[in-house]
Structure 1
Amino acid sequence: MLPSSVSERILSRGLMDVLIRAGLVAILAISCYQVFHPFLNLMLWALILGVTFYPLHQSLKAKMGMRDGHVATLIVLVSLILLMVPIYLLASSMAESVQGAIALFKDGELDIPSPNASVASWPLIGQPLFDFWQQASVDLTSLMKKLLPHLRGFGMSMFGKLAGVGAGFLLFIAALIVAGIFMAFGENGHRSAVQIASRISGPDRGPQIADLCTATIRAVAQGVVGIAFIQMLLVGIAFVLMGIPGAGLLALGVLLLGIMQLPALLITIPVIIFVFATQGATAGTIIFAIYTFVAGMSDNVLKPLLLGRGVNVPMPVVLIGALGGMVTGGIIGLFIGPVMLAVGYMLFWHWVEDQPTALDADAEEEGRAT
């Protein structure tokens, strides 16, 4: 048996080796994170898009008999075309509207109709709104001079927001291209995900966690983004048919509100008020108001049907994860939050259900007795 001093030196040396190795591993991990951090959002979005589109990839591959890479390229190209066409039309419409408004303002031909007398009788905001509207219809130039100092700061803020939206759109395009690469190697990627999850949580729970993460991402894509897109179409069609000014921009606002889990009524109710104020209460405006109001609340019916579908956790867990992730991490947190909460929920109930059996209790008692 070794002397105590020798044993202590060996133990101290072993502890020092462990600490040095742990420090080197930590330095390596931090260095890798710093190198990878500029591409983190890009890769997360690419992973989300790849997981979302992969069932479509497999379906097209089975029907068309093409290779994985060819099918992935086809999906990316079609998605880019579907994105570019409406964005180009929207940008052109916005540019024409701005140029037309500037030309009308310079020529002094910008004519704002007088408000309906019933506007003044609206509670709380009726009289101030009527006075503001009346002044704009009578003397718009003086009103713009009063508002110009406030509009300047608002305009700069809007330009900053638009620049951020443009950068986000470019990031989304790049992520879509990388997602095509992920889909081309989807089988290897799924196998790697299962191996990583099994290495972390064991061979029994690893495949379950990998499948749960995949299903949660797809459920959020269908139940949040999909519902917001459907709601945008329902409301946008009504806006276009009714001839609402800036119908495309308002419909885009409905889409953004749906993604941010905010009620579309924030847009639909002011539009309904605008229609009644300008066109009065007719059969057409009443039908428009009812339809638009119902369409603005359609997410309350669609969410229970689509959100959490195919996920082995309750729908409120996915919804809370989406809302919490959105608040803490922005749009990307909309997907990461539900995944983390769903995995935590599953592991928690695995731990709760893993109760010690009577045989385990007897073995523990025998161990204590000996």
Structure 2
Amino acid sequence: MEKPQIHTDIPKVLFTVLFISFFIIASFWILNPFIVGFIWAGMIVVATWPLLLIIEKRVKYRWLSTMIMMILILLIFVIPIILLISSVIDNSAPLIELAKSPSNIQPPQLLWLNDIPMIGSKLYDTWHSILVSGGNALISKIQPYVGQAANWFFAQALNIGRFALHLGVMLLFSGLLFLQGENVVSWLRHFAIRLAGQRGDAAILLASMSIRAVALGVVLTALIQAIVGGIGLAVSGVPYATVLTVLMFICCLAQLGPLLVLIPSILWLFWTGDTTWGIVMVIWGGAVATMDGVLRPYLIKMGADLPMVLILTGVIGGILTLGMIGLFIGPVVLAVAHSLLNAWINEVPKPNPDLTETVEFMNKNFIEKE
């Protein structure tokens, strides 16, 4: 008896896929102005959810704990960012004028070199011979590139309108997510189970743990390093300490470390003859540079017990690929993929350490007998 052939209506399937794809694309197109703000809100809410629960236990009401969290986000996140952007804009103007005028950039005389025992006079003579033989010409060649970099940085800082929109959307969605967090998580888990069963549910849990690990281990570490380093810059008298603190925070987020900002600042202190503060900043900068080696592993383990290499690779790759929002998306994607791959591999037993059976199987099936 022949089996009945199953007839597939290919045009129906094709038009169904096109219809669904159209609505998905149209929905993302309409929501495009709000996606970045919503992702920010989701990351912040996931990272700070335990704090919300602690506050709710004290005040007994979700709406009141949500208001407190919104005020904290406003004070700790939004207002400092606006002040930093304003400071960058204010301080960029004199930097641009300085870069546009080569005559204003003069190399220092470094008279303090003469005070160094034994080799001081030689160092002083060598420095001045370099100045005479072309130091000013070198500064003149570097100056146009400094001006271009300053102009680009200033233009980026002026693009505050879109950033302000994202901040506003982030605040709005943060409040809604704090109020309805359990319902949103329930819907996401339901959707994930519909897609991939129990693995999908585990992926949602793993994603939240990864976000918390990045927020604690990467962002908080970078913030602490930048604040401590910025205090040292301000106390030692380095100009534009606020701008340099922002740059230090960005470098720490990108896993480049604070030394990219601290070393030029220390050299500037020695350049201007302030050797005392220069020596102090060498010690201070060394302490700041080693903070991440202590703080980051401890804080990452508080969020999720994931390989540090995986988190750092996701952070760096995410920033290079997607910008600042990739700071969170990169490690989350890698962490979920890594754990799901391990779960799939662990469905079968591990190989036997004794290779005797494997060698026999290989000789029997893969090696031709003469």
The TM-score bracket by the shorter chain reads 0.7 to 0.9
Superposed displacement of residue 114, structure 1: 3.8
Aligned runs of 1:152-191 on 2, under 5 Å?
153-164=148-159, 167-191=162-186
Alignment correspondent of 2:331: 338
Alignment correspondent of 2:233: 239
| Inter-partner Cα distance in structure 2 for 1:103 and 1:326 | 31
Deviations 1:185-222 (A, max 9, x none): 011112112112211221x3333222111111011011
Residue of structure 2 aligned with 1:315, choices 281, 290, 308: 308
Change (3 A) 1:253 1:207: same
1:197 and 2:192 aligned:
yes
Aligned runs of 1:160-309 on 2, under 5 Å?
160-164=155-159, 167-202=162-197, 204-282=198-276, 284-309=277-302
| Inter-partner Cα distance in structure 2 for 1:277 and 1:87 | 31
Q: Size of the alignment, in residue pairs?
A: 337
More deviation, 336-345/292-301: 292-301
| Inter-partner Cα distance in structure 2 for 1:205 and 1:99 | 54
- AA of the residue aligned to 1:157: W
Alignment correspondent of 2:321: 328
Alignment correspondent of 2:117: none
- Contact 1:268/1:293 (<8 A) preserved: no
- AA of the residue aligned to 1:225: V
Alignment correspondent of 2:21: 26
Please give the secondary structure, in 2, of the residue aligned with 1:297.
helix
1:71 and 2:65 aligned:
yes
- AA of the residue aligned to 1:25: I
Q: TM-score, normalising length from structure 1?
A: 0.77
Superposed displacement of residue 83, structure 1: 4.3
| Inter-partner Cα distance in structure 2 for 1:158 and 1:229 | 21
Change (3 A) 1:166 1:236: farther
RMSD: 3.8
- Contact 1:308/1:314 (<8 A) preserved: no
| Inter-partner Cα distance in structure 2 for 1:174 and 1:76 | 13
- Contact 1:49/1:176 (<8 A) preserved: no
Deviations 1:275-324 (A, max 9, x none): 22223544x54233112222133223322222243324322222222222
Change (3 A) 1:128 1:310: same
Query: Where does the alignment leave 5 or more consecutive residues of structure 2 unmatched?
Result: 114-119, 351-370
| Inter-partner Cα distance in structure 2 for 1:308 and 1:152 | 43
Superposed displacement of residue 77, structure 1: 2.5
Query: Where does the alignment leave 5 or more consecutive residues of structure 1 unmatched?
Result: 137-142, 358-370
- AA of the residue aligned to 1:31: A
Residue of structure 2 aligned with 1:56, choices 36, 48, 51: 51
- AA of the residue aligned to 2:215: A
Superposed displacement of residue 148, structure 1: 8.1
Alignment correspondent of 1:11: 7
Change (3 A) 1:207 1:150: closer
Alignment correspondent of 1:360: none
Q: TM-score, normalising length from structure 2?
A: 0.77
Change (3 A) 1:130 1:63: farther
Change (3 A) 1:226 1:98: closer
Alignment correspondent of 2:367: none
- AA of the residue aligned to 2:245: A
- AA of the residue aligned to 2:317: G
Superposed displacement of residue 235, structure 1: 0.6
Identity of aligned residues (%): 28
- AA of the residue aligned to 1:42: G
Deviations 1:35-76 (A, max 9, x none): 23332222211211221222111111111112x233222211
Alignment correspondent of 1:39: 34
- AA of the residue aligned to 2:156: K
Please give the secondary structure, in 2, of the residue aligned with 1:307.
helix
Change (3 A) 1:213 1:103: closer
More deviation, 295-304/184-193: 295-304
- Contact 2:89/2:154 (<8 A) preserved: no
